[in-house]
Homo-oligomer: A and B are copies of this chain.
Amino acid sequence: MNRYVPISTLRRLPVYLHYVRSIKGERKNVSAAVIAEFFGLNPVQVRKDLAAVSGTGKPKTGYDVEELICQIESCLDCNNETKSVLIGAGNLGSALLSYNGFSDYGINIVAAFDTDPETVGKSIGGKPVLPLSDLESICRFSKIRLGIITVPAGSAQEICDRLVSCGITAVWNFAPTILKAKDGVLIENENLASSLAILSRHLLFER
């Protein structure tokens, strides 16, 4: 199914997916209105989101739960393995390497890269840490498709350029900076510092 799905819908789909997986077994059908009520969302929005992956539900009964799970999984491509590498096995990088939750979304980190001689050669979360100088050869040989950047902000653009030069078209950037890449390369920023900024600012006014 290759229909267009808006980014805002894509952001909400994993939330719906968790919910419909949780009610599987309990209910055969679920309506957009029920999902909307559970999350306190606008039912019109939920209906639009689900229409993008599953068409309109049946009148009165809504969607078949099992069918809806399959359709969302297929839309999010959870069932195909996406080979990825992580660059920067420092604190945050190590944390992500040790986190097993990415495999639920089909993401398999096959290796990490670092420049620190004390880290290179080790294994973190079961993934080998290789020297950064091997980045290009491994990415090309193993047909890596996603790069996860957890290096300091100052090195992130250089790493991004190197990844793109090996044919990587999706970058998940955890470095607190803004990366540039040619058209066709998707850069998804996960700026934890931005979230902390908003939380800290809120708390400042609570004092």
* Chain A residues in the interface with B (C-beta under 8 A): 2, 5, 7, 10-15, 18-19, 22, 39-41, 75-78, 80, 82, 91-92, 94-96, 98-102, 104-107, 145-146, 153-154, 169-170, 172, 176-178, 180, 186, 188, 190-206
Contacts and interface: CB of A to CB of B under 8 A. Distances in A.
B177 A18 contact: yes
A2 to B, nearest CB: 7
A101 B169 contact: no
Nearest to A5: B201
Contact of A190 (B105, B180, B192, B202): B192
Nearest to A13: B197
B145 A101 contact: no
A151 B106 CA distance: 21
B91 A99 contact: yes
A101 to B, nearest CB: 6
A169 to B, nearest CB: 5
A88 to B, nearest CB: 12
11 contacts: A2-B205, A19-B153, A77-B204, A92-B101, A102-B196, A105-B193, A105-B196, A106-B200, A107-B200, A172-B196, A188-B199
